[in-house]
Amino acid sequence: MRIGHGYDIHRLVEGRPLILGGVEIPYEKGLLGHSDADAVLHAIADSLLGACALGDIGEFFPDDDPQFKDAASSDLLSVVIDAVKEAGFEAVNMDINVICEAPRLMPHKLAMRERIAELTGLSLDSVSLKARTAEGLGVVGRCEAIEVHCTSLLRSIN
Ligand code: MG
């Protein structure tokens, strides 16, 4: 067994769609980034890479590479899952913590879990997604950013 932790933060800006966990969430702002800036899928990818000591998504997908401009993070995650498989591991479960002042994520949690389960090949009950606010504190509390942590457990497939 291996365990990995992933973390990501992206700035919330006007004029971008808000995509979290592969799901577009209606909101007046979206996350800024070179790709679609899906901080949930980025944190998942980093947790998987971390468990296998394969580096981080910045090494896989440099943010100055035009190839990844506006890339769908679901495509990036699928490349990471292939690399993890190549290294001889597969995910067992993951626990995701999204820290977001607004919008309220409660109505979208199930759709995000379903999409993540689809992308990772995990069953729905192996994908936990928790959402919390920052109680008005810091950049997240001021609605300037969304922050995500993910812990993943992996098992050897060899
Ligand atoms: Mg990111």
User: How high is the mean pLDDT of the chain?
Assistant: 96
71-110 pLDDT per residue, tens: 899 999 999 999 999 999 999 999 999 999 999 999 999 9
Q: 157 CA distance to ligand 1 centroid (A)?
A: 28
Question: What is the longest distance spanned by two Cα atoms in the chain?
Answer: 47
User: How remote is the CA of residue 6 from the centroid of ligand 1, in Å?
Assistant: 10
CA of 12 to the centre of ligand 1 (A): 12
Query: Could you tell me the distance, in angstroms and rounded to a whole number, from the CA of residue 18 to the centre of ligand 1?
Result: 13
**CA of 158 relative to ligand 1 center, distance in Å:** 31
94 alpha carbon – ligand 1 mean position (Å): 18
Q: How large is the average pLDDT for residues 138-147?
A: 98
Closest CA to 3 of 113, 154, 129, 139: 154
Ligand 1: distance of its center to the CA of 37 in Å? 6
Instruction: Residue 3: name the closest of 86, 81, 76, 95 by CA.
Output: 95
Residue 124 CA to ligand 1 centre (angstroms): 24
Q: Check the CA dihedral 114-44-17-135 and report its sign.
A: positive
Q: Are strands 127-132 and 89-99 parallel, antiparallel or unpaired?
A: parallel
Q: How many helices (H) and strands (E) does the chain have?
A: 5, 7
Mean pLDDT of 6-19: 97
The number of beta carbons lying within 10 Å of the beta carbon of residue 130 is: 12
Tell me the one-letter amino acid at 1. Answer: M
Claim: this prediction has a pTM higher than 0.85: yes
In the predicted model, is pLDDT for residue 67 greater than 90?
no
Residue 33 CA to ligand 1 centre (angstroms): 7
Q: Is the peptide bond before 103 cis (omega within 30 degrees of 0)?
A: yes
User: Looking at residue 108, what is its pLDDT?
Assistant: 98
**What was the pLDDT predicted at 158?**
86
